[in-house]
Structure 1
Amino acid sequence: MALRTHPDSSWGWMVVLAGFVQTALVFGVIRSFGVFFVEFVAHFKESTSTVSWALSLGVAVLQFASPMGSALSARYGARPVVMAGGLLASLGLLLASFSVKISHLYLSIGLISGFGWALVFTPSTAAVSDYFQKRRALAMGLAVSGAGISSLVFSPLFQLLADSYGWRGALLVVSAMSLNLVVSAALLRPLTGEGDGQPDVQAQDSKWRQTLASLFALELLRQGRFLRYVLAFVLVDAGYFVPYAHLVAHAREEGCDEYQAAFIMAAAAVADMFGRIWAGWLADTAVFCRLVHHLTLWTVLTGVSLALVPLGHGFTALVSLGLCYGFFAGALVPLQFASLAEIVGADSVLGGIGLMHMLESVGALVGTPLSGWLRDITGNYTASFLTAGAFLLAGSAILLTLPDYFSCSRPSQTKAETLTGPPDHQAFELRGLPQHDRV
């Protein structure tokens, strides 16, 4: 007979541990991949823009396929889906170590690992949310903090592995590390009710249909305010991920050695963690009228910090700029989904998140290769970071055009929630999409 587990039980903290490991081995690897980027450019003798597509594809597939991971989790449970995702993520990195053409990296890291990461992230996040009611925010914060802590460790570790074993050997080690996604998935014990402890098949099928119905909220495409909000984040994503691939390479060109360059990215990751905490606290103090005002502030500051990166010459200056970027970019994260309720109304947030997540993957797909192409034609990363900053500033400008932006009252559309009731938190958990985190 299955063991009974309930919300707020002690086993929930084991689920938090699993979520911590999983965010560490997904986003920590993505954020630290700039170390391998330098090695790929040197080995394959390809342009910067060509190599940039490998990581860009991985991030885009992660975003685009996230609703699929949520739907599969709703039907089959988080444990088998995350296990399958961990195997795919590890397999992609394993195959990447045998690459003889750059196109092999696109397939292995971009498609296989990217899809595996999508199957890991959303179901594991949903499991953490599902296990907690009283301390859900704390549990979610602890789970997603794995991304920041692992980024601090992985950047210098990956550089050490590349120096010791070459990039192929280093990818083999990272592939083996990713198998811990499978081990941690075993901790995602499904919740059971008060009955015989067996899952209710009819209820699961009902949840499956409910999840599928909410995956593609196409009716939101007729809402101008939602389209503008999505367009803003397509532009934001076009610049947001550029440092993940190119900040290490830029630091190397500015005279930093391998470990100094890796440390800059690690410092940005630590600042990212503090930025998320600070932004959440500041939003709770209601310094500005609405969440979207806080979101605009952090988007502008992130864009400015990226545009200032070319002014950093030498290790000290680049560390300072990396800390600024990390703090501001981290502060932006928890407000993106929370602000969406002000745009479409609480009753439409569920479908809006999934649709927005897929559409904004276009920005993540295009931004990094464009940055690499600018480096190829100019000979340095100045134009790349200026353009990345401009994308975020353009996104913040679009936020200013939202209806009733300069009013302290929420848009009239969102007032419908007083009639329809609070948002369906259980549906959020089914989708694996937390209400306040982007990672």
Structure 2
Amino acid sequence: MTKVKSESESRSDEAEGPDGGWGWVLLGALFISTSLVFGLMRSLGIFFVEFVQYFEESAQAVSWISSTGLAAQQFFSPLGAALCNAYNARLVVMAGGFLAGLGLILASQATCLAHLYLTMGVISGLGWGLVFTPMVATVMASFTRRRTLALGLAFSSIGLSSFAFNPLFQLLVEMYTWRGALLILGGLSLNIVACGALIRPKPRSEAPAKVDPESKSSCVAQLQRVSNYLELSLLFERPYVTYTLAISLLNVGYFVPYFHLVAHSRQAGFSEYQAAFVMSAAGATDILGRVVSGWFADLHHFRLIHLLSLWTALAGVFIMLLPVSSLSGSYIALVVIGLLYGFCSGALTSLAFAVVPMIVGVERMMGALGLLQLIESSAGLLGTPLSGLLKDITGNYMASFMVAGSFPILGTLTMATLPHYFSCTDPPPPQRRSLGDKDKGLNSELEQMNTLPSDISDKGGE
């Protein structure tokens, strides 16, 4: 930790963020855009019952709408980062906001579930993927000493929007039907375009020289550099693979309450607004969980991986207790368990990101996060349809929530297999050579490729 701090302090002033100024404006833009991505995504359960009744389809089939959107957002997140490097974050975020709004507007005219898969799932999901990662990276670049505080304030919008959107969406559905509600949400999502316009594009460096396609050594060099930028070597490192598997297992059950708890509450005999309030209350404690978890983690009484394991296991337990709490018809019991689940789900979110640099090192953090989102997208794709299938088979959501809660617990057990997990102190994060050292080593290897013609070898050395 001290070494990292000393290295950051030795950087030039130009390389550090301003810790304020226009960065606070960008923080507000991230706050709004995150609300319109994850807050909206968490509140789509309001439309679940409407889609089942209108299209007369199974719960499993309807569940694929939200799962496709979630998976697309995570799958296309690395694409958003790559496009920012090729162009600039302003254009990418504005394009993502347009696609997010367009998908919801087109969804309001859907005549079958396939249309919703394409519009709300693929088109809006692509837009969400182009928005989140570039906006987060832009805010991180605008802050240095207050970076954690800035991200914490921005991500609190997820819980705030979850608290506000559920009753709002229920009101919109009652006033304008689900078609009118989706049309309004599409218009709201277009505000992300304005958020992206607030990003100040940075001057681009000169384009690199073209690589001779006939030069085998140059192609090898370019492929090696692409692999380095994407950090594909992490896929062969046991600690990172283990942690990615654990987070993927967590992701299978994490979103199930946000998509099916409203439907379960209504099936248990509670009114639409009572069902919506459960999710709103969970969103409120989600905010509290993020703040308390971050504050407590900064006290350094326990290792971050141990705290993450604790909150993940508790989240799984409370997911299992959600249907049990409503067996007696007690609305208070359902609300209490929902509050506890919201707290734990919020508490583990920030820790899941904070643990990554401790496993792979700070230098490879961005690549590791991109790969993590890409891999866990498959888990998010399976979670809610599996719960919907179990509901169709059993006729209620008891088995759905029991199975969903078991996945975070499995994720906790998987974390326990990480190296040095049972140690009371964090091991030093792995280090790697700088990119310049990699290029030097790569060039020396290319120079030793004696089997190539001399002219091609010269091109490869370039």
TM range (shorter): 0.7 to 0.9
Query: How far off is 1:126 after superposition?
Result: 1.3
Provide the C-alpha distance between the structure 2 equivalents of 1:401 and 1:131, rounded to a whole number of angstroms. Answer: 37
1:270 maps to 284
Match of 1:328 among 339, 344, 347: 344
Deviation readout 1:90-113 (Å, 9 max, x if unpaired): 111011111111111111011000
1:379 maps to 395
Provide the C-alpha distance between the structure 2 equivalents of 1:342 and 1:186, rounded to a whole number of angstroms. Answer: 34
2:250 maps to 236
* Counterpart check, 1:219 vs 2:230: no
1:58 maps to 69
Q: 1:133 to 1:411 in 2, by over 3 A?
A: closer
2:368 maps to 352
Provide the C-alpha distance between the structure 2 equivalents of 1:150 and 1:367, rounded to a whole number of angstroms. Answer: 22
1:202 maps to 206
* Counterpart check, 1:187 vs 2:172: no
Counterpart of 2:266, as a letter, is R
CA contact (8 A) 2:31 2:155 kept: yes
Provide the C-alpha distance between the structure 1 equivalents of 2:279 and 2:91, rounded to a whole number of angstroms. Answer: 33
TM-score norm. by structure 2 comes to: 0.83
Counterpart of 1:336, as a letter, is A
CA contact (8 A) 1:71 1:211 kept: no
Deviation readout 1:182-207 (Å, 9 max, x if unpaired): 1222212235xxxxxxx1432899xx
Provide the C-alpha distance between the structure 2 equivalents of 1:369 and 1:398, rounded to a whole number of angstroms. Answer: 23
1:247 maps to 261
CA contact (8 A) 1:148 1:272 kept: yes
Match of 1:397 among 386, 391, 413: 413
Q: Which moved more, 1:350-359 or 1:45-54?
A: 350-359
2:459 maps to none
Q: 1:164 to 1:383 in 2, by over 3 A?
A: same
Q: Which moved more, 1:47-56 or 1:213-222?
A: 213-222
Q: Which moved more, 1:279-288 or 1:77-86?
A: 279-288
* Counterpart check, 1:176 vs 2:187: yes
Query: How far off is 1:351 after superposition?
Result: 2.2
Q: 1:133 to 1:202 in 2, by over 3 A?
A: same
Query: How far off is 1:210 after superposition?
Result: 11
Provide the C-alpha distance between the structure 1 equivalents of 2:373 and 2:228, rounded to a whole number of angstroms. Answer: 13
Provide the C-alpha distance between the structure 1 equivalents of 2:337 and 2:224, rounded to a whole number of angstroms. Answer: 45
Deviation readout 1:154-196 (Å, 9 max, x if unpaired): 10010001001110111001111111111222212235xxxxx
CA contact (8 A) 1:74 1:204 kept: no
* Counterpart check, 1:279 vs 2:283: no
Query: How far off is 1:6 after superposition?
Result: 7.0
Counterpart of 1:309, as a letter, is L
Counterpart of 2:412, as a letter, is S
Provide the C-alpha distance between the structure 2 equivalents of 1:214 and 1:389, rounded to a whole number of angstroms. Answer: 37
Q: Which runs of 5+ in 1 are unaligned?
A: 192-198, 422-439
Counterpart of 1:335, as a letter, is L
1:315 maps to 331
Q: 1:182 to 1:204 in 2, by over 3 A?
A: farther
Counterpart of 2:383, as a letter, is G
SS in 2 for 1:360: helix
Provide the C-alpha distance between the structure 2 equivalents of 1:29 and 1:43, rounded to a whole number of angstroms. Answer: 21
Compute the RMSD of aligned alpha carbons. 2.3
1:162 maps to 173
Q: 1:134 to 1:285 in 2, by over 3 A?
A: closer
Q: 1:344 to 1:185 in 2, by over 3 A?
A: closer
Match of 2:80 among 69, 83, 88: 69
Provide the C-alpha distance between the structure 1 equivalents of 2:284 and 2:120, rounded to a whole number of angstroms. Answer: 25
Provide the C-alpha distance between the structure 2 equivalents of 1:203 and 1:285, rounded to a whole number of angstroms. Answer: 46
Q: 1:309 to 1:132 in 2, by over 3 A?
A: same
Query: How far off is 1:74 after superposition?
Result: 2.4
Larger radius of gyration: 2
Counterpart of 2:275, as a letter, is A
Query: How far off is 1:214 after superposition?
Result: 4.9
Match of 1:306 among 319, 326, 329: 319
Provide the C-alpha distance between the structure 1 equivalents of 2:300 and 2:159, rounded to a whole number of angstroms. Answer: 26
Provide the C-alpha distance between the structure 2 equivalents of 1:216 and 1:135, rounded to a whole number of angstroms. Answer: 27
1:140 maps to 151
Identity value in percent: 51
2:431 maps to 416
Q: 1:343 to 1:55 in 2, by over 3 A?
A: same
Q: 1:306 to 1:215 in 2, by over 3 A?
A: farther
Counterpart of 2:206, as a letter, is Q
1:119 maps to 130
Provide the C-alpha distance between the structure 2 equivalents of 1:214 and 1:160, rounded to a whole number of angstroms. Answer: 49
Superposition map of 1:253-264 within 5 A: 253-264=267-278
Provide the C-alpha distance between the structure 2 equivalents of 1:303 and 1:335, rounded to a whole number of angstroms. Answer: 16
Deviation readout 1:4-50 (Å, 9 max, x if unpaired): x9723522211111111101111111011000111111111111011
Deviation readout 1:285-322 (Å, 9 max, x if unpaired): 1222x211111111111001101111122422221111
Counterpart of 1:240, as a letter, is Y
Query: How far off is 1:211 after superposition?
Result: 9.6
Counterpart of 1:297, as a letter, is L
Q: Which has the higher contact order (CA 8 A, sep 6+)?
A: 1
Q: How many residues align?
A: 406
Counterpart of 1:351, as a letter, is G
* Counterpart check, 1:150 vs 2:161: yes
